Structure 1
Amino acid sequence: MGLIRLIHAWAGAVVALVLVVLGLTGSLLVLKEDWIRLTVPQARAEVVPTPQALGAAAEALERARPGEIRTIAFAGPHLGVHKLYFRKAETEGYASADGQVLAEWTGPTRAEAFLFDLHHYLLAGERGMIVAGVAALAGAVMVLTGLVVWFPAWRSFAWRMWPRSSRRRELLSAHRDVGIVFAVPVFVFCLTGGAIVFHDETRALLLAMFPHEPEEVFAPPPGRGDVDWPKALAAAQAAFPNAQLRMASVPAQPGDPVSIRMKLPAEWHPNGRTVVKIDPATSTVLEATSAQSLGTAARISNAIYPIHAAFVGGRVYDVVTFLSGLALAGMGGFGLWSFVVKPRKKRVRANDRLRPGPAEVH
């Protein structure tokens, strides 16, 4: 038990600051679409994502910005603007339902882009992402060790979400109580956050656990030509009539297929993992893969992001996610303050008492 307490305390002190950042930014990102609707008036519109309407918008965007757009995340009933990903590094934008560019930015210069970059990359690129992933997995371990440490003293639990004073004992009590109340969701969010960062390792582990994957289907090679977007999207819709059109990737070079992502009713991922490959020369289907036909490992992997980012469960799950992020930040803050700052102040006071006064020196 002593070793577990030591691991829990020191691991918490090392990663606490990162977890505070991840918790606060994760809570705020739950409100991302609400923020976009607040700051971009066109986003408040309810767009019916028909192949004709989305295709016309894609055609307008290609005419306005030829060769510049890499991917379009289509508008829909909940968000009335298209999200644009440009080929220029780190450049994104919003477009109206009819395909007019409304905003464009590079890097974390908009509030929602800044929050995402801070949460996912700690504003430090790929290295920051690795640090965030390690901290998230450490947070999951800390939840488990915290439960082990708490269990012998379970009678001390008091539902205290905020310390009554800055005394170390009160800080630790709040740290403990918040951790117990939010243990399950915080563990899930930390574990799924780490799994997102270490995607390849997660997928390899899942494949080892569930090795039976469907055989890969080889599609015929695409031809060369300009995409007829209304026709291409209509062909994708015909392949999966019950699915919602969510994203389209513009071919990077002649001879590449168009990739269209769709969301079936049973899928959790906001952009879907059902993929239709389109021949740009004929705007007809080359290959269609339903997310429901994927193996167990792929389907579990596809569920990790929507669980982590609160794209399941509606507003109730949004509230749980928001509060859990605050709880993670609170646990990190209370724990760090009690472990590092408060003991140090006590030691300083003790040293002051032992230091000889002027009369003793002389």
Structure 2
Amino acid sequence: MPARITAPIAAPIPARPRSARVVVRHIHLWLGLSVGLIFAFAGLTGSALVFYPEIDAAFSPALRAVPDGTRPPSWQAVVDTLHREHPARTGAWRIEIDPSGGAIPVRYYTPKETAGRAFAPMLLWIDPVHLTTIRTGFWGDTVVTWIYDLHYRLLLGEPGGIAMGIAGIAMLVLIVSGLWAWWPRPGGWWRALRFKRPAAAIRRLYDLHKLTGLIGLIPLLAITATGVVLDLPDQTRPLIARVSPLFHMPALIVEPVVRALPVDRLIAVAQRRFPDGALAWIETPATATAPIRINLARPGEPSRRFPRTNVLLDPYTGRILAVRDGLADTSGDTVLNWLHPLHGGEAFGLIGRWLAFVTGLVPSAMLVTGLLRWRRRSPPRHRS
């Protein structure tokens, strides 16, 4: 009987390992389908906030009625108006000085009406000519401040800020993974940077997606990274302090006397200390034994609206008690000082603000083009 001949059993072919680029593309895809929606939401709300003081004023008839360029007869007159019209509010008032003049914005940080909220100061505006309060409200009650809280902390207070900070880290991974997945091989740069107009629709979607991301790459990285640090101050400040010490204004107590000096005289003392400083904020004493703080904006500081040059004075004698030179900060404080101006574009003036506004629209464009391309490539069961 002839021997049976059996065919040898073929050994299974080992699965080919995925390349790093394929893995990164999958990470980018699934982050885009999950975090991408939050990214688009943060970008759109951020764009709306770039010009939020101007938008808020445009929708207020009371503020529009005050002509630009009008100024009060003195800053002491403004302080007297606040004390006269709000005698029960004995804490510190923060008076903002807009270089263009007009209605004077003021904040009161400890109103009893919002005592249970983490950040909800009273906001009011003073008519510089008639010296009367022409608008009053609380943070979060106006449209722009509500959007601000939504953008910053999802209306959830500190837990919302932590959630947005963690989401921001995922957004940074999303951006970097997209760049890695796109990065062309040697000799492929021209092809990678082209927009292929006559190609199929799915290819044009890909080209729109990649070119939009490349054009907005640098500002998007800067805005997202600064947003993470702003959302996670308790986690990031200690790390920065390990590398460079951070400034802490000393706690100061003054001896009260019968009458304080006029605010304008104290401002003059502060400006003699920093002759190149433009008046930005006046913070009145919080108690009878507290100093007055004068904030000055100096050339070279990244933020005109929130400068870091501060002078603390005895309101009764005019003696300078402590100063902070915003141009002589440590490297750690310099990093912190640039966060908000970079995030909102203020550091580069009006052009920077418009750049931040346009950059906020990029995540939505990326989400739409990426989602449309994914739906065209995926079978129906994957889309569901």
TM (norm. structure 1) is 0.82
Residue 141 to residue 303, structure 1, CA distance change in 2 (3 Å): same
- 95, 98, 103: which one aligns with 1:81: 103
Q: How far apart in 2 are the matches of 1:193 and 1:136?
A: 7
Aligned to 2:320, the other structure's residue is in SS state strand
Structure 2 residue aligned with 1:41? 64
Distance 2:151 2:271 in 1: 35
Q: How far did residue 283 of structure 1 move?
A: 4.1
User: Which residue among 335, 360, 364 is the counterpart of 1:329?
Assistant: 364
Contact preservation (8 Å) 2:281, 2:295: yes
8 Å CA contact 1:33, 1:79 repeated in 2? no
Q: Partners of 1:37 and 1:307 in 2: how far apart?
A: 23
Return closer, same or farther for 1:119/1:268 CA change in 2, 3 Å cut-off: same
Residue 92, structure 1, aligned to residue 118, structure 2: no
159, 163, 167: which one aligns with 1:131: 163
Secondary structure of 2:342's aligned partner: helix
Q: Report the alpha carbon displacement of residue 255 of structure 1 after superposing the two structures with TM.
A: 1.8
Give the distance between the partners of 2:146 and 2:84, measured in 1 at CA. Answer: 30
Does structure 2 retain, via aligned residues, the 8 Å contact 1:75–1:97? no
Identity among equivalent positions (%) equals 25
Q: 1:345 to 1:109 in 2, by over 3 A?
A: farther
* Structure 2: gaps (5+ residues): 1-20, 115-119
* Aligned CA distance change for structure 1 residues 118 and 304 (closer, same or farther; 3 Å): same
1:219 and 1:287 in contact (8 A); partners too? no
What does 1:86-125 align with in structure 2 at a 5 Å threshold?
A: 86=108, 87-88=110-111, 89=114, 90=120, 91-98=122-129, 99-125=131-157
**2:127 is aligned with what amino acid?**
S
Give secondary structure in 2 for the equivalent of 1:293: coil
Q: 2:284 maps to which residue?
A: 250
Amino acid at match of 1:224: P
Alignment pair present for 1:8 and 2:28 = yes
Aligned to 2:94: 72
Q: Which has the higher helix share?
A: 1
Unaligned runs of 5+ in 1: 352-362
**Residue in 2 aligned with 1:356?**
none
Q: Are residue 204 (structure 1) and residue 225 (structure 2) matched?
A: no
CA contact (8 A) 1:20 1:333 kept: no
Q: How far did residue 191 of structure 1 move? A: 0.4
Per-residue deviation, residues 145-193 of structure 1 (Å, max 9, x unmatched): 1111011375244459xxx99x766544433221111111101100011
Kindly indicate whether residue 265 of structure 2 is the aligned counterpart of residue 234 of structure 1: no
Q: Which residue identity is paired with 1:135? A: A
RMSD: 3.2
Question: Aligned partners of 1:337 and 1:110: how far apart in 2?
Answer: 36
**Could you tell me how far 1:43 is from its partner in structure 2?**
6.0
> Is the radius of gyration larger for structure 1 or structure 2?
2
Distance 1:280 1:325 in 2: 44
1:16/1:335 contact within 8 Å kept: no
1:183-198 equivalences under 5 Å are: 183-198=217-232
Distance 1:177 1:192 in 2: 23
Residues 67/3 of structure 1: CA separation in 2 closer, same or farther (3 Å cut): farther
Q: Structure 2 CA distance, aligned partners of 1:24 and 1:10?
A: 21
Q: After the TM superposition, which of the residue ranges 316-325 and 253-262 deviates more from structure 2?
A: 253-262
Residues paired across the two proteins, number: 342
- Counting only pairs closer than 5 Å after superposition, residues 313-324 of structure 1 correspond to structure 2 as 313-324=348-359
Displacement after TM superposition at 1:336 (Å): 4.8
Structure 1: which amino acid aligns with 2:75? L
Aligned 8 A contact 2:71 2:128 in 1: no
1:264 aligns with 2:287: no
Is the partner of 2:327 in helix, strand or coil? Answer: helix
Residue in structure 2 matched with residue 142 of structure 1 by the alignment: 174
Describe the shift of the 1:204–1:304 C-alpha distance in structure 2 as closer, same or farther (beyond 3 A): same
* Contact in 2 for aligned 1:71/1:84 (Cα 8 Å): yes
SS at match of 1:291: coil
Residue 141 of structure 2 aligns to a residue whose secondary structure is coil
For 1:62, the equivalent position in structure 2 comes to 83
1:258-277 Cα shifts (integer Å, max 9, x gaps): 22222112211222101111
With the length of structure 2 as denominator, give the TM-score of the two structures: 0.78
Which residue type is aligned with residue 49 of structure 2? Answer: L
How much does 1:77 deviate? 2.2
Change (3 A) 1:318 1:168: same
